[in-house]
Chains A and B, each alone.
Chain A
Amino acid sequence: MSAEKLQNNTNITETGAVPGSAKDMVGAVMVVGGGIAGMQSALDLAGSGYYVYLVENSSAIGGLMSQLDKTFPTNDCAM
């Protein structure tokens, strides 16, 4: 991103999107919960240029969905 564009973007502060200046910001996001929601958030963010810490309480991600057999309404295998 060029300096000029960065300047433009930080101007958006007025709309409330970017409080604080860019040098204080951290380009990483923590996602708590490794179920399907957490996985999707993590993929979206990591795919958009942010480093993601995906925090999961159990020993593996997948959450409740990994325990399902089939899913409605297509009867696709959940796994």
Chain B
Amino acid sequence: MISPKLVEVGRHLNIEILTGTELIDLKGEPGNFKATVRQKPRFVDLDKCTSCGECANICPVQVPNEYDKGLSLRKAAFKQYPQAIPGAYAISKKGSAPCRVACPAHVSAQGFIALVREGRYREALELFKQDHPFPGVCGRVCNHPCEESCTRNEVDSTLAIMNLHRFIADKEMPDDRYVPEKKADRDEKVAIVGGGPAGLTCAYFLAIEGYQVTVFEKLPVLGGMLTVGIPSYRLPRDVIEAEIQVIKDLGVKFKTGVEIGKDITVGQLREQGYKAFFIGIGAHECKALGLDGEDLKGVFPGVEFLREVNLGNKINLGDRVAVIGGGNVAMDAVRTALRTGSKKPFVIYRRSYDEMPANKEEIEECAEEGIEIMTLTNPVRIIEKDGRVTAIECVRMELGEPDDSGRRRPQTVKGSEFIIEIDTLMPAIGQESDWACLTEECVCTLSDWGTMKVDDVTLQTGDPDIFAGGDAVTGPSTVVEAIQAGKEAAISIDRFIQGKDLKKDRPQQWVSVKDVDIENQPKIPREKMPALPVEKRAGNFVEVQLGYPDDQALREADRCLNCGVCCECYQCVEACLAEAIDHDQTIQDKEIEIGSLILCPGNDIFDPGTLEHNFHYKANPNVLTSLEFERILSASGPTMGHLVRPSDHKEPKKIAWLQCIGSRDINKSGNGYCSSVCCMYAVKEAMIAIEHSANGLDCAIFNMDMRTFGKDYEKYYERAKGNGVRFIKSRVHTIDEVPETGELSIRYPDESGKIHEERFDMVVLSVGFQVSKSVIDLAGRLNIDLNNYHFAQSEVFDPVKTSREGVYACGIFQGPKDIPASVTEAGAAACLAGGRLFSVRDTLTKSVEFPEEIDVLGQEPRVGVFVCKCGINIAGVVDVPEVAKYAETLPNVVYTGNNLFSCSQDAQDEMKELIEEHNINRVVVASCSPKTHEAIFQDTLQKCGLNKYLFEMANIRNQDSWCHSDQPELATQKAKELVRMSIARAVTLDPLHEKKIPVNKRALVVGGGVAGMNAALGLAEQGFEVIIVEKEEELGGMARNLVKTIEGADVQAYLSDLKDKVTSHEKIQVLTQTLIVSFSGFKGNFTTEVIVGPGMYERKINHGAVILATGAKEYNPTEFLYGKDDKVVTQVELARRLAEKGASDLNQVVMIQCVGSRNEHNPNCSRICCQSAVKNALTIKKANPDAEVYVLYRDIRTYGLLEDYYTEARKLGVMFFRFTPEKMPQVEADDEGLAVEFHDHILNKNLRLYTDCLALSTGMDAEDTEELSSIMKLARNTEGFFMEAHVKLRPVEMPTEGIFVCGTAHSPKLLSETIAQSMAAASRATTFLSQTELTLSAVTARVVEDLCASCLICVRSCPYGVPRINEEGVSEIDIALCRGCGVCASECPAKAIELNWYEDQQLLSKVDALLEGVL
């Protein structure tokens, strides 16, 4: 139902849809506002996306689907629902995950982990390598800042991100390594000085950019500290070599054993044509302890020791080795010493364990290996004998105040000196760089710390062509920081060589996601890394950490919380053939000039999770909200419309609905209002659920009052009762879970107070509307007043105006209401919003101008065939080039081609050129459904000057590739046949011309009550002439009898003002005492004849639209002694009496509801009578608090915000007694007075009381419009109210175009609702009257007069009553009225009727083409 409206909005030239957008601010004046909007990135280009869905197919991230209220999952790349407008996909991305932000190289960790989870290890590795060339190396030795920032840490423990990228690196087969794709080769040469991680990374990224890169390394081996600093039991050599091999494969040249500054200088390299340099020489020289005797024998710096061992040299240190320091070098040195044969290597560290900079794993492994770490100990003196170290004197330390690094400063404990005998002293307290490479031609300078001075962002040194990074710049630091430096330097060097701005858009800003839901996450322990047993470690360099096997890796990957939602794996970028994905989109603010503003932001539904104790909504899956249940019933929902309960997928046998959850509830939710829709949707859901259940279903709806007050709703309620739905008068406050069965037990009292207990398989909570915080914030930003429940504040007689002029509210932002009421108010808001701007109408709208049409009549058909691939939607199954080739062989075809996406803008432009180039005069597109795409292609035809009816589509997607995806060959065959059929039809097509008819810009309003007058004003203020015809002498209608509204507004004052406005308006003519006697014509061109005034003079009115506002009247009761006893009055009479005489003489008042409604006289509810009773009861109680007021009712239907008055009435002591139609109250006049007897359920006995006044809440009867309906051919329901075109979506339109209805002529309603509806009718009529001409469809039926036998079959079969037998005795079809449905053409036995564009021969040509050669 909503779908056509979605398409209409989506295709409307003058509606610009801004999705992902919020209104931030509104400045300026009514008529000329400046609105600031903020648009979130969609990450998909709306113009390019063809909605093929490949991005969602490839996306590895699944999240709960909001559209199914979390009952199903969707991908991060998604379309809200299949029919969504805009049809483009979107990507949910909250921001970058904290792991990615924390990683210096900004590796997309969430991304590669998501791919691991899907078993797509290769893609995971490729993604990693986009940012970082060493997943295996860093998978072993990284200090993993990513893990420190991991959100999972807040749930249980951090995700093992490092272990997972080691896993994907280890998964790579040695003979099939991934080598990134290189861009085009470039001539420029770049020299990298130093083959460590920084230099290698820089080389890697520059090679990908296409540069000629040479790495110069002083040592005989590559890898820098990775190779010579880190022992191979932590980082095996083959892992480093494999990852360096990839860099070699990228074409990088390596020169080892070459020392820059000595073997060759920077100056010489410049002469050789090197355009830029990267210096990443690391820090390989050990810092001194600063003690006397460091040059003695037996002092062996840690890095030097590691280098020697790693280069394969044998070193004998002796047994007792004292390693000084707490970093990774110290740990590596001591553990290496253990492996090279020292019996007792140990560590001396001056602070405590907590301050040790080494990786925690390494410290733990030291302990496992039996290595002692002496913390809070510092060497102070080296003791020697014969030039050799023999012992070391140490002192104990304690921790003082924190120093600059934030660590607590160690202080000497006086007198704690002690001596340890040792064989080797191994300082490992830090390293520095050797700058011999800098010869005199280099002007770059060093810092006081001996590191290179560079620009923080670009890493450029004092020499513009020299860049530096890694330990050489930072001093000893981590591998990943060196990698990041190499990567940034590569960007700088690329820009430097190309002469671009080095600093533009740098450094990249990374914003971490913050609002991650960690509350509802189950705790899952981190997977432990398998390790080599301790006993197998000594004396060898076998790798200690063994890596995750697949199952552990998958389990660990599953722990990821998907912080950013989109994981930035960029698989969608690859998958999208239309190149629509753009991950670089950012939030955009823009200012838009507007004349008026309409607010209809909707609202949330109430969250029953806040009443968990009562309803177990979160804990029990079989307790659902009504909206969740709606999704379960839906064919597109999580169970495909199969009604099963969520806990065990069994079909339920009993379902209960609990009404008023979060509505009519001041105590718990604070929502005193009635949500107006829940009773009806509960009835609907119960009825549909019964339809869905093959084996019967027991539905019980627990309610206080059933509020089925809308037009024809009461009949629906009665139908549900007939279908066996039980309605139980009880408000359920608490339900209990039945252990192990999944059932829910409900205890409830019946009306006599007796307690019952029943078990149900499912419970549906009928949740009401809840104003959302975002809506309250919006109103706050725009300075719009809200009422006590935070709905938009409005006045009774101005229902859609807000407190700010020029800003209007409608829908459930204005108050709780159903769909027809929302649609109605939307029209009212449009009426006012447009009304104030009518002087600038058509100034900003766009229209399309087409070139003059080419006359093709008499031309030989020249068919152009365009076969669409629809990405892989069609081409993945059907051999599209083959189909195109086939089409070429068919008669009349002068051109065939195929497109990736025929509907894309560039394909349309190309199609236009081809049509013109090849003089094509018939076009066939073989693609998807004409329902969605025909109009797009027809537009293109018109742009070429071709008549749009010279077009035909073959649906080779929905009707072929989609349904035959498992049989590609047959699908290709079928596509050929579909195309052949379409070509055959195309050849038969002739141009058709749409007739344009002028529009008479005058409107006729029938009825001069509140509805008619408001409708007339709505139109007049848009600049249209209006004639009101009123049968009475005076304007005002039923409102003339009313005093005040329930809110206290003065109806007569309003009416008098309204009448003044109407009668003084220069565009409005009022004809009173006027009757319509004849009516003819069609939309835009009606003629109505009237007889005016007591003189009965005739007048003919030409007009373009009609608004029916004939009103209704109060039911005239025949029951309860009305008219026989003057104490019996109607509520309208009572209101007037109260206004005139007050209530001081009333001691006992009884009111009886539903008089003349909900019975045989009128099966519907009259909607207004409950509030009338409450209004008068309140007036009495306020005027005379001692008066007793009894309201005898069936259901109190004070819907929406009216509920507050009902609550107030009960507070003031008005007494309410329920009765049933079986036990109606009895009224009789006896000697004592007027007696009312009624049944009290609680006491279970009849009560009888005497009353001063019996007020009958009489319903509304339709005005007598029988004659009018027959003159104007208007449809009415059995109660005599006019029938609108569609209950939900066209509530003010009559089925005949150009005729609109409003007010109580449509159904009983309040004044405020009448006003809204009349403005809505004016708004719809405006869409007609504002056009200068109307275009009639050319697809209409046409009678071949000679063949017509005037058999009347067409007259009877037309659903719109269009054909008539004319004076010549043949059928005549008015094309202005014909809807082109084709029913008459198919029914006509004489074949006298043809439907344009679907003529018999045009359809038969397709059949002939299909059966060609068969028959």
Minimum CB distance partner of A60 in chain B? B84
Contacts A69-B688, A78-B2 given: A49-B21 contact, CB under 8 Å?
A: no
Minimum CB distance partner of B16 in chain A? A53
Asked if A4 is at the interface of the complex by the 8 Å CB criterion, the answer is no
The reply to whether B841 and A69 form a contact with Cβ atoms under 8 Å apart is: no
Contacts A25-B32, A76-B1 given: A61-B85 contact, CB under 8 Å?
A: yes
B interface footprint on A6-42 (CB within 8 Å = 1, 0 otherwise): 1011101001011110101111111111111111111
Counting chain A CB atoms within 10 Å of each CB, the highest count among B81, B601, B1022 belongs to B601
Of A1, A29, A44, A77, which is within 8 A of B1 by CB?
A77
**A56→B42 CA distance, assembly (Å):** 12
**A24→B21 CA distance, assembly (Å):** 26
Asked if B199 is at the interface of the complex by the 8 Å CB criterion, the answer is no
Of B42, B79, B716, which is within 8 A of A73 by CB?
B716
A interface footprint on B45-86 (CB within 8 Å = 1, 0 otherwise): 000000000000000000000010100000000111101111
The reply to whether A52 and B15 form a contact with Cβ atoms under 8 Å apart is: yes
Counting chain B CB atoms within 10 Å of each CB, the highest count among A24, A71, A73 belongs to A73
**A12→B846 CA distance, assembly (Å):** 27
Minimum CB distance partner of B604 in chain A? A64
Minimum CB distance partner of A10 in chain B? B839
Contacts A27-B837, A50-B845, A56-B17 given: A69-B600 contact, CB under 8 Å?
A: no
The reply to whether A62 and B1326 form a contact with Cβ atoms under 8 Å apart is: no
The reply to whether A33 and B1 form a contact with Cβ atoms under 8 Å apart is: no
Of B12, B42, B630, B838, which is within 8 A of A59 by CB?
B42
- Inter-chain contacts of A59 with B (CB < 8 A): 19-20, 42, 78-80, 84, 90
- Inter-chain contacts of A54 with B (CB < 8 A): 9, 15-18
Minimum CB distance partner of A51 in chain B? B844
- Inter-chain contacts of B575 with A (CB < 8 A): none
Contacts A6-B839, A62-B85 given: A47-B1330 contact, CB under 8 Å?
A: yes
The reply to whether A39 and B5 form a contact with Cβ atoms under 8 Å apart is: yes
Minimum CB distance partner of B597 in chain A? A30
User: Separation in Å of the B609 CB from the closest CB of chain A?
Assistant: 19
The reply to whether A17 and B1021 form a contact with Cβ atoms under 8 Å apart is: yes
User: Separation in Å of the A79 CB from the closest CB of chain B?
Assistant: 5
The reply to whether B2 and A44 form a contact with Cβ atoms under 8 Å apart is: no
The reply to whether B684 and A43 form a contact with Cβ atoms under 8 Å apart is: no
User: Separation in Å of the B439 CB from the closest CB of chain A?
Assistant: 60
- Inter-chain contacts of B736 with A (CB < 8 A): none
- Inter-chain contacts of A6 with B (CB < 8 A): 839
Of B80, B822, B841, which is within 8 A of A48 by CB?
B841
Minimum CB distance partner of B838 in chain A? A9
Of B23, B85, B592, B681, which is within 8 A of A60 by CB?
B85
Minimum CB distance partner of A46 in chain B? B14
- Inter-chain contacts of B831 with A (CB < 8 A): 44
Asked if B823 is at the interface of the complex by the 8 Å CB criterion, the answer is yes
Asked if B1051 is at the interface of the complex by the 8 Å CB criterion, the answer is no
The reply to whether B842 and A49 form a contact with Cβ atoms under 8 Å apart is: yes
**A31→B528 CA distance, assembly (Å):** 55
Of A36, A47, A75, which is within 8 A of B1327 by CB?
A47
Task: Identify the stretch in B611-619, B633-641, B726-734 within 8 Å (CB) of chain A at 4 or more residues.
Answer: B633-641
- Inter-chain contacts of A28 with B (CB < 8 A): 592-595, 844
**A68→B29 CA distance, assembly (Å):** 38
- Inter-chain contacts of A35 with B (CB < 8 A): 600, 602, 811, 822
The reply to whether B841 and A60 form a contact with Cβ atoms under 8 Å apart is: no
Contacts A40-B830, A47-B1327 given: A8-B593 contact, CB under 8 Å?
A: no
The reply to whether A30 and B716 form a contact with Cβ atoms under 8 Å apart is: no
**A58→B20 CA distance, assembly (Å):** 5
Of A10, A41, A49, which is within 8 A of B826 by CB?
A41
The reply to whether B837 and A53 form a contact with Cβ atoms under 8 Å apart is: no
The reply to whether B1324 and A44 form a contact with Cβ atoms under 8 Å apart is: yes
Q: Which of B621-645 contact A (CB under 8 A)?
A: 627, 630-631, 633-637, 641
Asked if B1323 is at the interface of the complex by the 8 Å CB criterion, the answer is yes
The reply to whether A73 and B715 form a contact with Cβ atoms under 8 Å apart is: yes
The reply to whether B19 and A60 form a contact with Cβ atoms under 8 Å apart is: yes
**A36→B637 CA distance, assembly (Å):** 20
Asked if B210 is at the interface of the complex by the 8 Å CB criterion, the answer is no
A interface footprint on B568-600 (CB within 8 Å = 1, 0 otherwise): 000000000000000000000000111111111
**A63→B15 CA distance, assembly (Å):** 17
Minimum CB distance partner of A57 in chain B? B22
The reply to whether A62 and B1061 form a contact with Cβ atoms under 8 Å apart is: no
Asked if B1237 is at the interface of the complex by the 8 Å CB criterion, the answer is no
User: Separation in Å of the A45 CB from the closest CB of chain B?
Assistant: 5
Asked if B1065 is at the interface of the complex by the 8 Å CB criterion, the answer is yes
The reply to whether B845 and A37 form a contact with Cβ atoms under 8 Å apart is: no
- Inter-chain contacts of A61 with B (CB < 8 A): 6, 9-10, 17, 19, 84-85
The reply to whether B32 and A26 form a contact with Cβ atoms under 8 Å apart is: yes
Contacts A50-B837, A57-B21 given: A26-B1330 contact, CB under 8 Å?
A: no
User: Separation in Å of the B1292 CB from the closest CB of chain A?
Assistant: 10
- Inter-chain contacts of B1326 with A (CB < 8 A): 44, 47-48
The reply to whether A55 and B29 form a contact with Cβ atoms under 8 Å apart is: no
Q: Which of B1284-1304 contact A (CB under 8 A)?
A: 1287-1289
Q: Which of B1161-1195 contact A (CB under 8 A)?
A: none
The reply to whether B845 and A46 form a contact with Cβ atoms under 8 Å apart is: yes
Contacts A27-B844, A46-B14, A79-B2 given: A67-B631 contact, CB under 8 Å?
A: yes
The reply to whether B29 and A20 form a contact with Cβ atoms under 8 Å apart is: yes
The reply to whether B716 and A45 form a contact with Cβ atoms under 8 Å apart is: no
Asked if B1071 is at the interface of the complex by the 8 Å CB criterion, the answer is no
User: Separation in Å of the B633 CB from the closest CB of chain A?
Assistant: 4
Q: Which of B796-853 contact A (CB under 8 A)?
A: 810-813, 819, 822-823, 825-827, 829-831, 833-846
Counting chain B CB atoms within 10 Å of each CB, the highest count among A19, A36, A68 belongs to A36
Minimum CB distance partner of B775 in chain A? A33
- Inter-chain contacts of B597 with A (CB < 8 A): 29-32
The reply to whether B599 and A51 form a contact with Cβ atoms under 8 Å apart is: no
Contacts A12-B1021, A51-B14 given: A17-B630 contact, CB under 8 Å?
A: no
Contacts A29-B598, A31-B600, A50-B834 given: A9-B839 contact, CB under 8 Å?
A: yes
**A15→B79 CA distance, assembly (Å):** 48
- Inter-chain contacts of A12 with B (CB < 8 A): 1021
- Inter-chain contacts of B840 with A (CB < 8 A): 22, 25-27
Contacts A56-B21, A68-B630 given: A27-B845 contact, CB under 8 Å?
A: yes
Asked if B710 is at the interface of the complex by the 8 Å CB criterion, the answer is yes
**A78→B634 CA distance, assembly (Å):** 10
Asked if B1023 is at the interface of the complex by the 8 Å CB criterion, the answer is yes
- Inter-chain contacts of A27 with B (CB < 8 A): 595, 837, 840-845
- Inter-chain contacts of B598 with A (CB < 8 A): 29-32, 38, 41
- Inter-chain contacts of A71 with B (CB < 8 A): 1, 684, 819, 1288
**A2→B86 CA distance, assembly (Å):** 38
- Inter-chain contacts of A51 with B (CB < 8 A): 14, 16, 844-846
**A20→B1326 CA distance, assembly (Å):** 23
Asked if B1119 is at the interface of the complex by the 8 Å CB criterion, the answer is no
Minimum CB distance partner of A47 in chain B? B1327
- Inter-chain contacts of B630 with A (CB < 8 A): 67-69
Closest 3 CB pairs of A and B: A37-B811, A47-B1327, A60-B84
Q: Which residues of B contact A (CB under 8 A)?
A: 1-3, 5-6, 8-10, 12-23, 29-33, 35, 37, 42, 67, 69, 78-81, 83-86, 90, 592-602, 605, 627, 630-631, 633-637, 641, 680-681, 683-684, 687-688, 710, 712-713, 715-716, 774, 778, 810-813, 819, 822-823, 825-827, 829-831, 833-846, 1021-1023, 1061, 1065-1066, 1287-1289, 1323-1324, 1326-1327, 1330
- 8 further contact pairs, Cβ within 8 A, besides A35-B602, A44-B1323, A54-B18: A19-B836, A27-B843, A30-B23, A33-B811, A37-B811, A40-B827, A51-B844, A56-B21
Could you list 22 examples of A-B contacts with CB < 8 Å? Answer: A1-B841, A20-B31, A30-B33, A34-B17, A34-B19, A38-B600, A40-B827, A42-B15, A44-B826, A46-B15, A47-B1326, A50-B834, A51-B845, A54-B17, A55-B21, A59-B42, A62-B2, A69-B631, A69-B635, A69-B641, A73-B684, A76-B1288
